[in-house]
Amino acid sequence: MKNKLLTLLILFSIISTTISQENYIPADRITSTIDSSNVQEFVLIQEFNVNVPIDSVWNAYTTKKGWESWATALAEVNIKNGGLIRTNYNKNGKIGDSTTIVLHVKNYVPKKLITLQAELTTNFPEFMKEDEKDLYNLVYFESIKPSVTKVTSYGIGYKNNAKYKSLLKFFIKGNTMSYVNLITYLETGNPSVKY
């Protein structure tokens, strides 16, 4: 497991060093909080404001063009209750190969909420696979004003133990990099990292 996490951390480090200084969005725009009020589980709460209308943010999360502009090299997106978002970071790969990431759309309310659940592949630690059915990501979208949208992500189902505490540090770093890329793409038209 340590080797897998180390490999993922190295990948994120390489990506972070390729961030264009011209379009640099500071990571401190993303606030990360771990709520441990439930003794059994953690909730990872990450939130940020982006200076674009809600339609732009919604499209970034719910369209092929959106995902391929900030999140992954390849995407296949079917937003509906029971739909799928299938992605691949490898631009030379293809959707459906062994490196495809599959997110199930559990439910959604247009321009308000998306609930996602990932299929955990061999790249994830075994203890997470045991808890796969409990792990969700709820993403809320809120129009603060016509040109400002607040995004709040709730990662739920993480167990309150040492393994998850260590893993949450990794998720906070990785998610923060993704959100910085999203903000940069939406506010400048050019993501920090191009896949």
Domain boundaries, the chain: 2-9+29-188
Q: Which residues contact 82 (CB under 8 A, 6 or more apart)?
A: 104, 105, 106
Q: Which fold has domain 2-9+29-188?
A: Alpha-D-Glucose-1,6-Bisphosphate; Chain A, domain 4 (3.30.530)
Q: How distant, in Å, are the alpha carbons of 23, 83, 90, 182 from that of 57?
A: 18, 19, 24, 9
Residue type at 175? N
Q: What does each of the 195 residues of the chain score in pLDDT, given as a tens digit?
A: 444 443 444 344 434 444 444 556 777 889 998 887 777 899 999 999 999 999 999 999 999 999 999 999 999 999 999 999 999 999 999 999 988 999 999 999 999 999 999 998 887 888 888 899 999 999 999 999 999 999 999 999 999 999 998 889 989 999 999 999 999 999 999 988 887
Which pair of tokens denotes residue 171?
A: 């998720």
